[in-house]
Amino acid sequence: MRFSELLAGRLAEKFPDNRLVNIWGDPAGSQRAQTDERICLEIVTEYAGIKARPAPSNDVTMRREAVGQALSRMIDGRPGFLVSPSCTMLRKGFVGGFHYKRVKVTGDERYHDKPSKNKYSHPHDALQYLLLGGGEGNVVLRKQERRQRGPERHMDAEMMSSPYDARPDFG
């Protein structure tokens, strides 16, 4: 409850004229607590007055691809996804704070499957859930479906959503 109250105050302070309609969080936030059987996302909704929903997936690959998709999108020749200079933790995470720990093995460079948990990983987790819930997960799923259909695909408007999609990916 305390977090939700702090969140509501901070949002009212930073965005007094705006009302957030929805936020998306870790799907684990929809699990019932063992102490009182309440759901974390319901508590945020109740105390912060924000509709908090679980992101559609917790799959690390899908989450990363959702962010990559948003970062690669160009609109009228300009970046379609901008990060405010005031989002210092997120920006520092993009330049190395959010990373995968290297595995000590001889030969090829290898990394753990999951990102290192640190002060940068939490804001990046939140961004990933936001983008998945906001629709980037649908874009990622459509791309995966196209890859699975194989080389008989044809280029259509859906494949042209990003400059990186200008050529079909047959691999």
Question: Alpha-carbon distance 97 to 90, whole Å?
Answer: 9
- The pLDDT value given to residue 66: 92
pLDDT in tens, the chain (171 residues): 688 888 888 888 888 887 666 789 888 888 776 667 778 888 888 888 788 889 998 988 899 999 999 999 999 999 999 999 999 999 999 998 888 888 887 778 888 888 889 999 999 999 999 999 988 988 888 887 787 777 655 444 444 443 333 333 333
Name the residue ranges covered by the structural domains of the chain. Answer: 1-54, 57-166
Strand partners, 25: 54
* Three-state DSSP state, 139: helix
- The pLDDT value given to residue 167: 36
Question: Alpha-carbon distance 81 to 170, whole Å?
Answer: 27
Cα Rg of the chain, angstroms: 19
CB of 158 closer than 8 Å to CB of 141: no
Q: How far is CA 10 from CA 5, 16, 55, 171, in A?
A: 9, 10, 22, 46
* Three-state DSSP state, 26: coil
Strand bridging mode 102-103 / 110-111: antiparallel
Residue 124, number of CB atoms within 10 A of its CB: 21
Measured distance between the N- and C-terminal CA atoms of the chain, rounded to whole angstroms = 48
- The pLDDT value given to residue 115: 84
Question: Alpha-carbon distance 134 to 158, whole Å?
Answer: 18
DSSP structure class, residue 101: P
The three-point CA angle 89-92-95 to 5° equals 150
